Every structure is written in structure tokens, then in C-alpha cells.
Amino acid sequence: MYGFEAMTFNIHGGYLEAIVRGHRSGLLTAADYNNLCQCETLDDIKMHLSATEYGPYLQNEPSPLHTTTIVEKCTLKLVDEYKHMLCQATEPMSTFLEYITYGHMIDNVVLIVTGTLHERDVQELLEKCHPLGMFDSIATLAVAQNMRELYRLVLVDTPLAPYFSECITSEDLDDMNIEIMRNTLYKAYLEDFYRFCQKLGGATAEIMSDLLAFEADRRAVNITINSIGTELTREDRRKLYSSFGLLYPYGHEELAICEDIDQVRGVMEKYPPYQPIFSKLSYGESQMLDKAFYEEEVKRLCLSFEQQFHYGVFFAYMRLREQEIRNLMWISECVAQNQKSRVHDSVVFIF
Amino acid sequence: MSGAIVIGASSSWARALVKISPYTFSAIGIAISIGVSVLGAAWGIYITGSSLIGAAIKAPRITSKNLISVIFCEAVAIYGVIVAIILQTKLESVPSSQIYEPESLRAGYAIFASGIIVGFANLVCGLCVGIIGSSCALSDAQNSSLFVKILVIEIFGSALGLFGVIVGIIMSAQATWPSKV
């Protein structure tokens, strides 16, 4: 019953919620980012990070440090925390936590299939996969020639199987089809996750609906902008939009016929929650759009911590960590390439 | 005139209720007083305890201060025990000719009501203190200046149990059985 979660949530979820809130207090603050932005070399970054929670993970790295190593170790920390929470969780929280990683699974599948298409070595691709999205038979993906085989050989045993029904065709895999496959899978995943949260009910449903709706709308805008000028027809574009969210269904109809960014802006400015995002961009500029969306997402994720006794905090924590890792990657790349003036272009402060 | 009280026809529900022994009501009242109070206390303690354990992993300093929340919940159970003991001292034997006197019935109902008052007041008080204690532990782990402020809320919450105990004891003072003739 909505409003009375406080009475029974702590039976199964109290301990893990307290743990995830403890992890949240370890996220890097604006002061940490300011210190990091002033570093001259990657070793300075490693020194600053060893004072934070990433210390034990970066300590043993030998001195010529690469940005990929930093990112890998930070991701390892996130994976360790996730696995710890997952093994302590009971139903339905364990299903919820697994749902959070299906997005990474989809990305890994697409990465391997694309890499195989371009004749890359499977081992090399496996190392680039995100550790949260690994599953057992992932290496077999390299063998598949078209989507039907992909499904039959590998994906039917994974949790992604039900998302595939919409995109099995006998066409061979090529770059365009793979992007469409990725977006179709992600659409099915978001809708499934949304339905699952609605079934859970209560505060979880309310908070997750808001976060997932924002995600769906953001993806709709990104799909629109990325497919301007390509051969993707309007009908195909419509099919890639998720069927929930603030923009559904009227915004999607308008977005489907957009042919340039200013038209997209015109559509989005009609929706009050998204209007401040688009008003920050001057005309014709779309690079800052990503950062503006990330800032909005971080704001909403932080708000979900204001309420207790729901599962949204787990989702929010994972996303905030991923944002932090993106920030660290950007800072490390800027420092490594000596472009410190551009550091603040893409760092989103969480606190 | 002593003896049977006529309420309605001889086979009505009201008549059946009146014919239940006042000792039954008293015993149930005492059971509810202790049983439901302990339910409330236990509920509150597990709500606070699970959050406290998880939060103390990252912030070990909160453990000793936040045991106060657990103590407030425990106090609720103690109220239930005290009232149960007081109530059972109010039980007296009356001769069987006087069991269904109005005085006896009144004593039985007073003990029953007292038990319900204390039991349910302590149930919700324990729940309230438990939920606040859980939030208190989590907030204290993030920002230690919040502890004292949230403790004030808990103190107000635990006053609810006290109200129940006071009214319950006043009710039970009414439980005077008819004196032996």
C-alpha cells in the first residue's frame, strides 16, 4: 500500500538501503573535482584519488599510468559494490538490481557484434566489455552471421531474450542494422523495466517512473538528432521511441518529422520540464546538449535519495557512480592530452 | 434486585455478550496489553536495527549514539509489562452468584479496555519510534549534526506510548469488583 512502505521495507531491504546510502556518501564532491582538475599529470590524479574511496583500487598500479587503467579500476570498484549488494538481496530487490545491468549487457552485445563485423579479435573485444554486463556465453557472439543465429545461439539463454522478438530479421548484420538493433533492444528493455517497477508499486513505482521517463525522453531526443540526415525513415524512427514518458505520444509524433536541431528545440520547448535544458543552448549548438542532459539527470537522481524505503536509491546510486566514472575519464583524458582548459566542458558535479 | 439483567429477548447477541464472564475479558485485556506492546516494540527495533547496522559499516561512530532509538522502542515493551502486572493485581475472585452483577461486568470491561488502550498505543508508538530511528541512523551517518534534532522528534513519538499507559492505569483504577456479601 502506498505510504506504508516504512512498516515492512526494512525486513528485506533495510540493511542494503543503509549500505547504498553509505556508498553515496563516498561519491566525489566538488572540492575533489576541483583538486583533480588542477592536476598536471596522471600520477597527480592517482595521488588525489588515493585519498578518496578509490585508494585501495589504484594503489598498486605501476607508475606509467594510462587513462584506461584509471577508468578500469574505478569501474572495478563499482562492480564489487554491486556484486556485494546483489548477493545480499532477496526477491524482488535482486530482480531489480539485475534489471539495472541489462543496459550494459545490450551495449556489450552490440560491441562484440560490431567488432566482429570489423574483423577484430574476440579476446580484445571481451576486454573492452563493461564488466557489469557480462554473461556466460558472451564470447559465442562472435560466431553469429545474422540476427536469427545471434538469437538462437546465444541470446535465447540470457535475460535479453524477450527483448528480441521485435527485431529478429534474416538480414545480415551491418552497421546500420546494428544501431537499429541496439535501439530496439534498449526500447524493449526500458519498457520492461518500467512495467516491472509499476508492478512493484508504491514509492518505487513513482520514483522509478520519473527516472525512466526521463531516460526514455532523452533517448528519443538523441535518436532524433543522430538520425537527422541519415537514411532512417520517419516510420523507422517512430518505432524506436519508447511507449512511455512525457513525450509519449504527441511529442514523438512531432519529433519523428523533425529535420534539424532547431525543429527539435521547438518541439522540446513546449514541455516545461525540458524547456530550461534547451534554453541553455544557443541556436545551432548541440555539443552542450549531452552535458545539459547529464546535469538534469544527476539532479533527478540526487532527489531520489530524499525519500526512504524504496528501490530507486539503488538505481540512482549506480547511475551516479557511472557519471562519476565518466567525469574521471574526461579529466584524465584532458590531463593526459594537456588540454586542461577544456576540463570543465564536460564534468558534471554531483554535489 | 440482584440477578439476571434482561437486555432484549433471551436469544439476542446483546444477551450473549453480557453472559461472557468478565474474567474472560480481563484475561484478554491483560494478554493484549503485553502481547501487542511487545509486537510494537519488536517491530520498531527491527526497523531501526537493520538500518543502523548497514549505516554503521561506513560510519562506525554512529553505533553508540543511535542505540538510544533502540532503547526508546524497548521502553514501549516495558510499559506493556508494567501495565500487565498492574492489571493482574486488579483481578479478584467474586462468588459465582455475583459474576454477572453490573459491578463485576464493569470491572471486567475496565481491565479489558485498559489492556487494549495500552497495547495499541504502544504498538503505534513502537512503529513510530522505529521508523524515525531508522531515518535518524541514516542521517547521522551522513551528517552528525542532525542526530540531536531528529532525537527530539523521537522523544515526541515516544510520548505517545506514555499517554496510553497513563490512560490505561486510570482506567484500571476503576476496576473494583463487588465486595463479598
Residue with cell 506492546: B37
Q: Tell me, what's the pLDDT at A286?
A: 64
Q: Do A14 and B50 touch (CB under 8 A)?
A: yes
d(CA A217, CA A245): 6
With a cut of 70, say whether residue B40 has pLDDT above it.
Answer: yes
Q: Which of B50, B73, B124 to mutate: most A Cβ within 10 Å?
A: B50
The C-alpha R_g of chain B, in whole angstroms, comes to: 22
SS3 content of chain B, % helix, strand, coil (to 5): 80, 0, 20
- Report d(CA B70, CA A153) in Å as an integer: 55
> What residue in B sits closest to A308 (Cα-Cα)?
B135
Contact A93, A16 (CB under 8 A): yes
How far away is chain B from the Cα of A48, in angstroms, using its nearest Cα? 20
Q: Please judge whether A10 and B138 are an interchain contact, meaning their C-beta atoms are less than 8 angstroms apart.
A: no
Rounded Cα–Cα distance for residues A182 and A180 (Å)? 5
Does the pLDDT of residue B3 top 50, yes or no? Answer: no
Orientation angle between helical segments B146-173 and B62-89, nearest 10 degrees: 0
H helix or E strand, kind and range, residue A179: helix A175-200
Q: Can you spell out the DSSP letters for A274-309?
A: THHHHHTSPTT--HHHHHHHHHHHHHHHHHGGGS-S
d(CA A271, CA A251): 9
Q: Does B99 touch chain A if contact means CB atoms closer than 8 Å?
A: no
* Pairwise CB contact (< 8 Å): B58 & A26: yes
> B76: distance to nearest CA of chain A, Å?
17
Amino acid identity for residue A207 in this structure: I
Give the pLDDT band (50/70/90) at residue B8. Answer: low
Q: Does B57 contact A at CB distance below 8 Å?
A: yes
Cell of A198: 509499476
Q: What is the pLDDT of residues B106-144, one digit of tens each?
A: 999 999 999 999 999 999 999 999 999 999 999 999 999
Contacts of A119 (CB under 8 A, 6+ apart): none
Show the cell assigned to B29. Answer: 485485556
Q: What pLDDT does residue A135 have?
A: 85
ipTM over 0.95: no
Pick from A6, A17, A22: CB nearest B57: A22
Identify the CA nearest to A351 among candidates A307, A273, A299.
A299
Provide the residue count of chain B: 181
Query: With contacts defined as CB-CB under 8 Å, which chain A residues touch B43?
Result: 7
Q: Dihedrals φ, ψ of A172, to 5°?
A: -70, 160
SS3 B116: helix
The pLDDT of residue B1 is 39
- Mutant choice from A15, A29, A306 vs B, greatest count of B C-beta within 10 A: A15
Mean pLDDT of B134-159: 94
Whether residue B146 contacts residue B139, with contact meaning beta carbons closer than 8 Å, is answered with yes
CB B94 within 8 A of CB B37: no
How far does the CA of residue B25 sit from the closest CA of chain A (Å)?
30
- Lowest-pLDDT range of A13-17, A314-318, B95-99, B154-158: B95-99
Mean pLDDT by 10 residues, chain A (351 residues): 86 94 92 88 88 87 85 92 94 93 91 85 86 84 75 82 72 73 91 94 93 94 87 86 88 87 87 86 70 91 94 96 92 88 81 77
User: Grid coordinates in use for A218?
Assistant: 532523452
CA distance A206 to A304: 10
At a CB cut-off of 8 Å and minimum separation 6, what does A276 contact? none
d(CA B150, CA A26): 23
Q: How many Å lie between the alpha carbon of B88 and the closest alpha carbon of chain A?
A: 32
Contact across the interface for A10 and B134, Cβ inside 8 Å: yes
pTM over 0.80: yes
Looking at per-residue pLDDT, the higher value among A345 and B100 belongs to: B100
Chain A interface, mutation test: which of B39, B45, B46, B47, most A Cβ atoms within 10 Å?
Answer: B47
> Please, what is the average pLDDT of chain B?
91
